[in-house]
């Protein structure tokens, strides 16, 4: 079985307390069939450090971008293009809009989001979209900037079925994290059932959003298997089938030949 963690932050894990090093994290993941990881940058300096951190490990890919809460007005656009053109980079992001924590910076967030979409189209790389309390503006910008030209994924999806439908209609993928195991999201199993298998990705967003039954612990890529198992039960299919389909989805969206994943 081959599972992909399509969104995590490897450099933010607690290596002093929970892991010997990055290879320890990878070994724990592989032991649970999580055999490829996309680690996501949150600003440009983070990307530079992340690239050094993972080195040339074949089972890890990178994204490059500026998170909407990380001073989206402060970076140089030319630097974004230059860094994101790196061969190890398979996506732009994470980018998007977050009005939950910062409503006073909407304009700068929107400008940065547009810049990432434009860069994704120019570089022929998909975008990884973060969205919180900003669905209307997110959808409008995706449409206005013709994001279907580069495609992308709405990461850590926790919206309703209507939102899922609109994103799917634009050709986007939906990524589910440990949030789906939380009791506080009412009737979310219906959303999981609604999203077709060929448009689903799996992610941990580790070290955040640890799934049940590990709540209270730091999240890690190994727990992608638990998210896969939860979705497989909801959709009444074998986890082996789900893992194969979601791995194919990852390969297709991020333009990584499947042979390069294995």
Annotation-wise, does 155 bind a ligand? yes
Annotation-wise, does 7 bind a ligand? yes
| Beta-carbon contacts of residue 9 (< 8 Å; ≥ 6 apart) | 39, 40, 42, 205, 206, 207, 208
Instruction: Report how far apart, in Å, the C-alpha atoms of 206 and of each of 11, 55, 170, 222 are.
Output: 10, 19, 27, 10
Distance CA 258, CA 244 (A): 11
Distance CA 235, CA 136 (A): 29
Annotation-wise, does 130 bind a ligand? yes
Work out the angle at residue 145's Cα, subtended by the Cα atoms of residues 195 and 198, and round it to the nearest 5 degrees: 20
Q: Assess whether the previous peptide bond of 207 is cis (omega < 30° from 0).
A: yes
| Beta-carbon contacts of residue 214 (< 8 Å; ≥ 6 apart) | 223, 226
Distance CA 134, CA 21 (A): 37
Assess contact for 250 and 151: CB atoms under 8 A: no
Annotation-wise, does 205 bind a ligand? yes
Residues annotated within the binding site for a divalent metal cation are 7, 9, 94, 130, 155, 205
Residues annotated within the binding site are 7, 9, 94, 130, 155, 205
């Amino acid at each position: 079985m081959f599972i992909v963690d399509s969104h995590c932050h490897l450099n933010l894990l607690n290596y002093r307390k929970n892991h010997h090093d990055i290879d320890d994290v990878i070994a724990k993941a592989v032991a649970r069939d999580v055999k490829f990881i996309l680690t996501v940058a949150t600003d440009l300096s983070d990307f530079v450090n992340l690239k050094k951190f993972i080195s040339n490990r074949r089972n890890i890919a990178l994204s490059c971008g500026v998170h909407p809460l990380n001073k989206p007005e402060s970076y140089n656009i030319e630097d974004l293009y230059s860094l994101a053109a790196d061969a190890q980079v398979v996506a732009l992001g994470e980018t998007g809009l977050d009005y939950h924590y910062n409503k006073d910076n909407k304009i700068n967030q929107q400008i940065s989001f547009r810049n990432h979409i434009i860069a994704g189209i120019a570089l022929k790389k998909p975008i990884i979209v973060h969205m919180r309390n900003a669905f209307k503006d997110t959808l409008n910008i995706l449409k206005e900037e013709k994001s279907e030209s580069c495609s992308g994924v709405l990461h850590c999806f926790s919206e309703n079925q209507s939102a899922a439908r609109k994103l799917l209609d634009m050709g986007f993928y939906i990524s589910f994290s440990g949030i789906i195991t939380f009791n506080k999201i009412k009737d979310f199993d219906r959303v999981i059932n609604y999203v077709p298998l060929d448009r689903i990705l799996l992610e941990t967003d580790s070290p955040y959003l640890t799934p049940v039954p590990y709540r209270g612990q730091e999240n890690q890529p190994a727990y992608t298997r638990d998210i896969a198992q939860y979705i497989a039960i909801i959709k009444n299919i074998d986890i082996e089938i789900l893992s194969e389909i979601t791995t194919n989805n990852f390969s297709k969206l991020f333009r990584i030949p499947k042979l390069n994943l294995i």
